[in-house]
Amino acid sequence: MPATVIVGAQWGDEGKGKIVDLLAQSSDVVCRYQGGPNAGHTIVREGETFKLHHVPSGILYGGTICVVGAGCVIDPGLLVEELDELKARGIKTDGLRISGNAHVIMPWHVASDAASERRLGKLQIGTTRRGIGPAYSDKAARLGIRVQDILDPKILRQKFETALAEKNLLLDEPLEPGDLADRMETFAARLRPYVADTSLLVDQALREGRRVLLEGAQGTLLDLDHGTYPFVTSSNPVAGAAATGIGIGPTRIDSVLGVAKAYVTRVGEGPFPTEIEGPDQERIRELGEEYGTTTGRERRCGWLDLVALRFAVRVNGMTSLALTKLDVLSEFDEIPVCTAYRLPDGSETVEFPAHQSDFHHASPVYDTLPGWREPLDDGLPGAARDYVEFVGGALGLDVTMIGTGADRERVITPDQPAYSRS
Does position 38 interact with ligand IMP (CB under 6 A)? The reply is yes
Does position 126 interact with ligand IMP (CB under 6 A)? The reply is yes
13 is catalytic: yes
360 is catalytic: no
| Contacts of the segment 40-47: beta carbons below 8 A, 24+ positions apart | 40/292, 40/293, 40/294, 41/16, 41/17, 41/293, 42/17, 42/18, 42/293, 43/17, 43/18, 43/408, 44/18, 44/406, 44/407, 44/408, 45/21, 45/407, 45/408, 46/407, 47/407
One character per residue 250-269, x = contact with ligand IMP (rule: CB under 6 A): -----------------xx-
Does position 132 interact with ligand IMP (CB under 6 A)? The reply is yes
In order of 54, 70, 76, 266, the CA distances from 199 in angstroms are 18, 8, 21, 32
Which of 4, 9, 12, 226 forms a contact with ligand IMP (CB under 6 A)?
A: 12
User: Least separation, in Å, of the C-beta of 260 and ligand IMP?
Assistant: 13
Does position 4 interact with ligand IMP (CB under 6 A)? The reply is no
In order of 97, 99, 144, the CA distances from 192 in angstroms are 10, 11, 19
**In terms of CB distance, is 132 or 246 closer to ligand IMP?**
132
Number of residues that bind ligand IMP (CB under 6 A): 21
Does position 231 interact with ligand IMP (CB under 6 A)? The reply is yes
Can you tell me the distance from the alpha carbon of 138 to that of 155, in angstroms, rounded to the nearest whole number? Answer: 17
Residue nearest to ligand IMP (CB): 268
Question: By three-state DSSP, how is residue 30 classified?
Answer: strand
Of the candidates 21, 41, 75, 149, the residue annotated as catalytic is 41
Does position 127 interact with ligand IMP (CB under 6 A)? The reply is yes
SS3 readout for 149-166: HHCCHHHHHHHHHHHHHH
User: Least separation, in Å, of the C-beta of 305 and ligand IMP?
Assistant: 16
Q: What are the phi and psi torsion angles at 208 (to 5°)? A: -85, 5
Does position 411 interact with ligand IMP (CB under 6 A)? The reply is no
Does position 9 interact with ligand IMP (CB under 6 A)? The reply is no
Can you tell me the distance from the alpha carbon of 32 to that of 69, in angstroms, rounded to the nearest whole number? Answer: 6
Return the residues of window 194-223 that contact ligand IMP according to CB under 6 A. 217-218, 222
CB 132 within 8 A of CB 38: yes
Q: Which stretch binds ligand IMP (CB under 6 A): 38-46, 341-349, 350-358, 402-410?
A: 38-46
Q: What is the contact surface with ligand IMP in residues (CB under 6 A)?
A: 11-13, 38-40, 125-128, 130, 132-133, 217-218, 222, 231, 233-234, 267-268
Residues designated as active site: 13, 41
